[in-house]
């Protein structure tokens, strides 16, 4: 500073205004030089973001420097992340830690990845403590952290814990999570999960005072949903047969019939008939549910069944938002999506189903980012035959004109109809179908059908490694070869039913599933004829 003042004297600045300005410039330079002499501290904490079903690495870098006290968070942080400055300050003070009276800069890298939710509270708090020397900084490198802080220092549950641990296990670091979210994360095999109730417990672990317990992987096997037994459905033998075929080959199904005939009951009993989920399928399904904050440990390995109302918007069905989240079709991944009252849905909403029905994935594009969610669901839809619902009923109650019936059915596009594998009529019940049955006659109907479905599915996995409905055209040509008589029968059906090439493929795949249920290596004429019967009413 003395040298600066000497320079000022040597300059012999005579004008008072200029002399004052020069003094201010030199003074600011002296302050900056003094600040550079301070002890600047940096700490790095590992965490995870969320982008679709992927959890990319996020480095939480905390920098303490001289200047006016304050906390500045950079790195494309959403509002809930920026609010972490107040939650972290209160949590540290409540836990009797010293909050540094310095300029605190928190950088969430990479900077071009949007950051949302309160999961970064815990790594930000630990970074501040490590940079300020209150916990050892070298202990942070072995862990990844995520958790929302309460003002008391307690850790609250976060969504996406399972997806984050799935991505983190390949990096060889243990994951510290709130105790409320650790159970779902422990479902990931070979993952080291440390549940923590509070910020103090995490700090005690890092300083060696009291170690956090390691939560070992303990997958839970859950049975079929209670009460979803096929025996609850009176009559409807053809509907039950169609469910068995659909469950065996992962085929989509349309149920048509008057109100009260059991269409919804049939649809609700498809998921318990499906083959048991593999571990990879269970992890994928659970990870998507975790992203939406809807995963429950007791639902592990249970096929999801989603039944949104017909007033559901396209965004709720497909997914989206400022930070895209999975919609109903992704939440039904490896399970069943049931659309009741199909003709009452907005046609523009239904059209979004066309791509994922073919590809099994859904791409969500926004101006700033794109996300990809899996959507390998099994569609089951139900609708009335006409606006009043009583077309063809023996009571003659229907008063709909042919034009009204035609307009009603055209609410669903032909392109969507063409993507449905099977369609059946669910007729009104007769009086004898409603008669009470002895308990012994209904004891194990679902388990018997499930066993047949499992055997047919095992044949498909052994032959081609996937369900028949997932076969690509070249694979279908190889695994679903028809005999000459069957080819002639299918050619006649295409001519009379005006089938598209897609319809041809779907009939062949359904016939292959019927042959698998019969234990036949070849597709016989009877198998093909039954498959054509299920296609006749599509559209």
Top-confidence residue, 168 or 194: 194
Sign of CA dihedral 419, 416, 273, 433: negative
Rounded CA gap, 402 and 411, in Å? 15
The architecture in CATH of the region 230-430+438-445 reads 3-Layer(aba) Sandwich (3.40)
Tell me 439's DSSP state: G
Q: Which residues are paired to 329 by β-bridges?
A: none
pLDDT tens digit string along 393-428?
Answer: 767 788 889 899 999 999 999 999 999 999 999 988
The pLDDT score that the predictor gives to residue 391 is: 84
Contact 473, 505 (CB under 8 A): yes
The pLDDT score that the predictor gives to residue 507 is: 94
Lowest mean pLDDT among 14-23, 228-237, 398-407, 477-486: 14-23
What six digits make up the tokens of 287?
């990870």
The pLDDT score that the predictor gives to residue 495 is: 85
Q: pLDDT-based confidence at 221, cuts 50/70/90?
A: low
Contact 254, 420 (CB under 8 A): yes
Q: Residue ranges of the domains in the chain?
A: 2-36, 41-206, 230-430+438-445, 471-539
Q: pLDDT-based confidence at 538, cuts 50/70/90?
A: low
Q: Is the pLDDT of residue 434 over 70?
A: no
pLDDT tens digit string along 341-366?
Answer: 999 999 999 999 999 999 999 988 87
Q: pLDDT-based confidence at 206, cuts 50/70/90?
A: very high
Cβ-count burial 502-533 (b if 16+ within 10 Å, e if not): ebbbbbbbbbbbbbbbeeeeebbeebbebbbb
Q: pLDDT-based confidence at 23, cuts 50/70/90?
A: very low
Q: pLDDT-based confidence at 222, cuts 50/70/90?
A: low
Read out DSSP for 98-133? PPPSSEEEEEEESTTS-B-SGGGHHHHHHHHHHHTT
pLDDT tens digit string along 50-59?
Answer: 888 889 999 9
pLDDT tens digit string along 96-136?
Answer: 999 999 999 999 999 988 898 899 999 999 999 999 999 99
Most confident of 86-100, 396-410, 428-442: 86-100
Top-confidence residue, 539 or 458: 458
Strand, helix or coil at 246? helix
The pLDDT score that the predictor gives to residue 275 is: 93
| Phi (first) and psi of residue 9, to 5 degrees | -65, -40
Instruction: For residue 2, count other CB atoms closer than 10 A to its CB.
Output: 6
Q: Residue 48's closest CA among 294, 291, 327, 212?
A: 291
**Separation of first and last alpha carbons in the chain:** 88
| CATH code for the part of the protein at 471-539 | 1.10.8
Find the mean pLDDT for residues 444-468.
92
Mean of per-residue pLDDT scores for the chain: 85
Please state, for a pLDDT cut of 90, what percent of the chain lies above it: 56
pTM exceeds cut of 0.85: no
Task: Answer whether the bond into residue 175 is a cis peptide, omega within 30°.
Answer: no
The domain defined by 41-206 folds into Ribosomal Protein S5; domain 2 (3.30.230)
């Amino acid at each position: 500073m003395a040298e600066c003042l000497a320079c000022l004297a040597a300059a012999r600045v005579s004008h008072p205004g200029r002399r004052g300005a020069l003094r201010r410039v030199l003074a600011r330079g002296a302050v900056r030089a003094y600040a550079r002499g301070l002890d600047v501290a940096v700490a790095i904490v590992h965490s995870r973001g969320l982008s679709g079903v992927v959890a990319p690495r996020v480095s939480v870098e905390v920098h303490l420097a001289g200047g006016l006290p304050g906390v500045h968070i950079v790195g494309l942080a959403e509002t809930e992340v920026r609010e972490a400055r107040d939650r972290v300050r209160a949590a540290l003070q409540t836990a009797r830690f010293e909050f540094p009276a310095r300029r605190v800069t928190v950088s969430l890298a990479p900077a071009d990845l949007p950051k949302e939710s309160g999961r970064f509270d815990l790594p930000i708090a630990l970074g501040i403590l490590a940079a300020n020397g209150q916990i050892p900084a070298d202990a942070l490198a072995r862990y990844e952290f995520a958790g929302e802080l309460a003002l008391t220092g307690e850790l609250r549950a976060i969504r996406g814990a399972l997806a984050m641990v799935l991505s983190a296990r390949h990096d060889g670091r243990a994951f510290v999570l709130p105790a409320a979210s650790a159970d779902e994360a422990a479902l990931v095999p070979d993952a080291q999960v440390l549940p923590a109730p509070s910020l103090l417990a995490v700090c005690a672990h890092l300083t060696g005072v009291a170690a956090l317990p390691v939560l070992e992987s303990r997958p839970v096997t859950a049975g079929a949903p209670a009460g979803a037994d096929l025996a609850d459905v009176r009559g409807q033998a053809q509907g039950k047969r169609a469910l068995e075929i659909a469950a065996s080959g992962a085929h989509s199904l349309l149920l048509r019939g008057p109100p009260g005939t059991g269409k919804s009951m049939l649809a609700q009993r498809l998921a318990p008939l499906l083959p048991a989920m593999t571990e990879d399928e269970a992890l994928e399904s659970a990870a998507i549910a975790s992203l939406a904050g809807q995963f429950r440990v007791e639902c592990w390995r249970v096929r999801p069944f989603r039944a949104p109302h017909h007033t559901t918007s396209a965004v709720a069905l497909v997914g989206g938002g400022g930070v895209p989240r999975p919609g109903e079709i992704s939440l039904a991944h490896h399970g069943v999506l049931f659309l009741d009252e199909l003709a009452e849905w907005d046609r523009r909403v239904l059209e979004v189903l066309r791509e994922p029905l073919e590809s099994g994935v859904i791409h969500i594009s926004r101006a700033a980012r794109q996300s990809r969610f899996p959507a390998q669901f099994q569609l089951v839809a139900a609708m009335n035959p006409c606006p009043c619902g009583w077309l063809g009923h023996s009571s003659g109650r229907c008063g709909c004109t042919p034009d009204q019936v035609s307009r009603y059915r055209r609410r669903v596009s032909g392109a969507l109809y063409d993507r449905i594998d099977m369609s059946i009529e669910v007729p009104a019940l007769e009086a004898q179908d409603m008669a009470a049955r002895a308990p012994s006659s209904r004891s194990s109907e679902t388990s018997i059908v499930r066993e047949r479905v499992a055997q047919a599915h095992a044949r498909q996995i052994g032959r081609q490694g996937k369900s028949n409905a997932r076969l690509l055209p070249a694979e279908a040509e190889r695994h679903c070869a028809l005999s000459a008589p069957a080819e002639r029968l299918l050619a006649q059906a295409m001519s009379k039913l005006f089938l598209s090439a897609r319809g041809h493929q779907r009939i062949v795949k359904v016939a292959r599933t019927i042959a698998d249920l019969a234990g036949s290596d070849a597709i016989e004429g009877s198998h093909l004829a039954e498959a054509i019967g299920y296609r006749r009413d599509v559209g």
